[in-house]
């Protein structure tokens, strides 16, 4: 089975800190995604990547950046953490289209609290 | 602009009865729809999907119905079991796009 591993389950950071969330997948998937989950808002796409060193903005990229230096690893960076970035962050990977064959596989999530 | 909407934040159903979760969408370019299930402290897992060329897809106790003219889909779970208690997300994809757009989620509680 494909495994998507997020390095931390829980994180507490201070306002203004630079925060790194790491995600690693072990099945040579081309596509990787970062979403955040908030009550009443569902899953919103922050950034995604189709290939190494390639990135695309999602729906809510402000305050975030990403890095994909190796195919298996996709990092989400909060340049200067703020309290409104307190959320559950979910990483996902996918081999590609069609979705009926290659859906998303999600990691277990990182619960980030910014104080 | 919420392109995929799940208007019921929560739903409570008796064990053994039918659970019906609803989802509406606004983008007519969406051609593939998926349902994901999420337990607390876990990532979402794929449940069932449907292509826009179909109006129904079944997998065991789970059936998804698609009404393209109404831009509406629903997930039916029959019979409902306590292990079905989770948050359910509806998701959609436009043709050729490699990303999914998710709804807000519906928390389903199955009561014994």
- Per-residue pLDDT of A9-40, as tens digits, reads 999 999 999 999 999 999 888 899 999 999 88
Model confidence at A78: pLDDT above 90: yes
Radius of gyration of chain B (CA): 13
Quote the mean pLDDT of chain B. 94
Chain B residue with the nearest C-alpha to that of A89: B43
Q: What does the block give as tokens for B32?
A: 């593939």
Give the pLDDT of residue A100: 58
Q: Mean pLDDT across the stretch B76-93? A: 96
> A53: distance to nearest CA of chain B, Å?
17
Residues from chain A contacting residue B98 (CB–CB below 8 Å): 31, 48, 50, 94, 96-97
Q: What is the pLDDT of residue A98?
A: 63
Nearest to B112 by CA among B89, B79, B70: B79
Would you call A4 and B105 a contact, using CB atoms and an 8 Å cutoff? Answer: no
Q: Do B44 and A50 touch (CB under 8 A)?
A: no
Mean pLDDT across the stretch B52-56? 94
Best to test chain A binding among B38, B51, B98 (most A CBs inside 10 Å): B98
CB of B99 within 8 Å of a chain A CB? The answer is yes
Specify the pLDDT at position B98.
75
Q: What is the pLDDT of residue A95?
A: 80
Report the gap between the CA of A96 and the closest CA in chain B (Å): 6
B45 and chain A in contact, CB less than 8 A: yes
The mean pLDDT value for A106-114 works out to: 96
Tokens of B50: 């449907």
Report the range of poorest mean pLDDT among A35-44, A102-111, B93-102.
B93-102
Beta-bridge partners for A34: A47, A91
Q: Would the CA dihedral through A65, B44, B103, B56 be positive or negative?
A: positive
Question: Is the pLDDT score of B72 beyond 90?
Answer: yes
- Report the alpha-carbon distance of residue B89 to residue A45 in Å, rounded: 14
Q: Which residue among B34, B49, B102 places its CB closest to the CB of A42?
A: B102
What pLDDT sits at residue B62? 98
In B, minimum Cα distance to A58 occurs at B99
Residue B104: pLDDT above 90? yes
Nearest to A108 among B6, B43, B93 (CB): B43
| Section A70-79 average pLDDT | 96
Q: Specify the range with the lowest mean pLDDT, choosing from A37-46, A53-62, A93-102, B99-108.
A: A93-102
Nearest one of B3, B19, B30 to B82, comparing CA atoms: B19
Per CB-CB distance under 8 Å, the chain B contacts of A101 are none
Q: pLDDT band at A51, cuts 50/70/90?
A: confident
Residue with tokens 């969406």: B30
* A2 has pLDDT over 80: no
CA dihedral in degrees (B107, A2, A57, A36; nearest 10)?
A: 30
Q: How high is the pLDDT of residue A99?
A: 59
Mean pLDDT over A64-72 rounds to 95
Mean pLDDT, all residues of chain A: 91
Residue B88 CA to residue B37 CA, distance in Å, equals: 5
Q: Nearest 5°: phi and psi at A40? A: 80, -10
Query: pLDDT of A81-100, one tens digit each?
Result: 999 999 999 999 988 766 55
The Cα of B18 is separated from the nearest Cα of chain A by a number of Å equal to 24
B100 near A CB under 8 A: yes
Scanning every residue of chain A, which has its alpha carbon at the shortest distance from the alpha carbon of B10?
Answer: A40
């Amino acid at each position: 089975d494909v495994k998507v591993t997020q390095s931390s389950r829980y994180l507490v950071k201070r306002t203004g800190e630079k925060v790194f969330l790491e995600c690693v997948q072990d099945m040579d998937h081309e596509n990787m995604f970062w979403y955040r989950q908030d009550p009443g808002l569902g899953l919103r796409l922050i950034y995604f990547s189709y290939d190494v060193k390639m990135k695309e903005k999602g729906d809510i990229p402000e305050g975030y950046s990403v890095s994909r230096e190796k195919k298996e690893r996709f990092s989400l960076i909060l340049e200067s953490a703020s309290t409104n970035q307190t959320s559950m962050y979910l990483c996902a990977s996918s081999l590609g289209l069609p979705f009926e064959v290659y859906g998303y596989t999600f990691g277990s999530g990182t619960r980030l609290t910014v104080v | 602009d919420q392109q995929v909407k799940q208007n019921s934040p929560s739903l409570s159903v008796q064990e053994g009865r039918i659970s019906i979760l609803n989802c509406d969408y606004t983008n007519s370019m969406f051609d593939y729809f998926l349902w994901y299930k999420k337990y607390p402290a876990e990532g979402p897992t794929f449940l069932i999907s449907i292509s826009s060329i179909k109006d129904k897809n079944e997998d065991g106790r789970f059936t998804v119905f698609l009404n393209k003219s109404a831009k509406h889909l629903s997930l039916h779970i029959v019979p409902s079991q306590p292990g079905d208690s989770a948050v359910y997300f509806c998701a959609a994809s436009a043709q050729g796009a490699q990303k999914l757009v998710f709804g807000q989620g519906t928390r389903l509680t199955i009561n014994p």
